[in-house]
Amino acid sequence: MARREADGMQDINGRNPEGIVAPEEAVRVARHVTWVGFWWNALLGVAKVCGGILGRSNALVADGIHSFSDFLSDIIVLVMVGIARKKPDERYQYGHGKYETFATLLLSVVLLAVAVGIFADGCRNVVSALSGEVIPRPGVIALDLCVLSLVVKEWLYRYTRRAGERINSAAVVANAWHHRSDAFSSIATLVGVGGAMFLGEGGRVLDPLAAMVVAVMIAVVSVKMAIPAIKELLEIALPADVEERIREAIVSTPGVRAYHHVRTRRNGYSVIVEVHIKVDPDISVISAHDIASDVERRIRGVFDRDTSIVTTHIEPYNGERIGPDGSCVKNDV
């Protein structure tokens, strides 16, 4: 059996020779962008809640609560990303990547809980308005804060997503989408507050309606985040097109007569692949080992980063029937 992992070599910029961001640099980048978002969320949360109260806007208060919820998501990322990038040890022999996946799932749960709360509050206010209760006209401060929030949160989304894609962190990218969901909510809030300000008493119901629209947007984002995280925690195989590329890499390796039992899964930012390869029974152990190492190298070449854990099991080829994809039928595991 042959197995190889990234050697961790770095240059002076914290990258290895292939241009992959080293784990230490990845943690530093993740923490930096998260702290930036953390303090902006603090400022916006306080400003929007206070501005919503002073400006008589339920939608802006709800938007401010949404920003406060980012505190929890930022803390989760700060804690979990550092753990996820730790090197494998005796207890976590495949690494700590699932901590990052779990963090992403927690982010989605927080978003969904916030969405439910905002939607319920918006419903109560809409019912009150339809029952004849006059909703106060929002002040100019509410409109100004909507515009400020929209600009800042869109910038935070772009800034955080670029960093997350650079270090290949699902949790950081998920946190970027959290910022984007806040930007979407600011758009809905801006429409609601503007309508409530300029369309008379009948238009003031737009403020709580905007809060409900915000809630739906947040819920959709939370579900989109949760589904891949749940699949990974349940160890669903990689997508079919990715597995096809892996199979092509295996069968194209010189010396491989056939293969079977390809198994794939994700572990945070890492990809785990296991495969049984069949070689000529008359070659030396050294030659068989070299073939296995070549298979592992080619499988890693399928991905853009050298963070894959590939395990090969060598078997003699005894004339088994080979299918069109180069695999053979093997009854025993």
pLDDT grade for 288, boundaries at 50, 70 and 90: very high
- The terminus-to-terminus CA distance of the chain in angstroms comes to 15
Residue 264 belongs to some domain of the structure: yes
- 205, 96: one domain: yes
| Residue 239 neighbours by CB distance under 10 Å | 10
Look-up: residue for tokens 């992959």?
20
pLDDT grade for 253, boundaries at 50, 70 and 90: very high
**Claim: this prediction has a pTM higher than 0.75:** no
Residue 18 belongs to some domain of the structure: yes
Which CATH number covers residue 82? Answer: 1.20.1510.10
- 137, 184: one domain: yes
Look-up: residue for tokens 């935070």?
156
pLDDT in tens, 166-194: 887 777 887 788 788 778 778 878 887 88
Strand order in the sheet with 258-267: 2-4, 308-316, 270-279, 258-267
Percent of the chain surpassing pLDDT 70: 86
- 110, 250: one domain: no
pLDDT for res 293: 94
pLDDT grade for 332, boundaries at 50, 70 and 90: very low
- 118, 266: one domain: no
Residue 160, CA distances (Å) to 17, 91, 192, 214 in order: 25, 32, 28, 21
CA distance 105 to 99: 10
Residue 145 CA, chain-centre distance (Å), reads 29
Structural domain tally of the chain? 2
Residue 149, CA distances (Å) to 47, 95, 275 in order: 9, 38, 50
- 49, 175: one domain: yes
Q: What is the DSSP letter of 328?
A: B
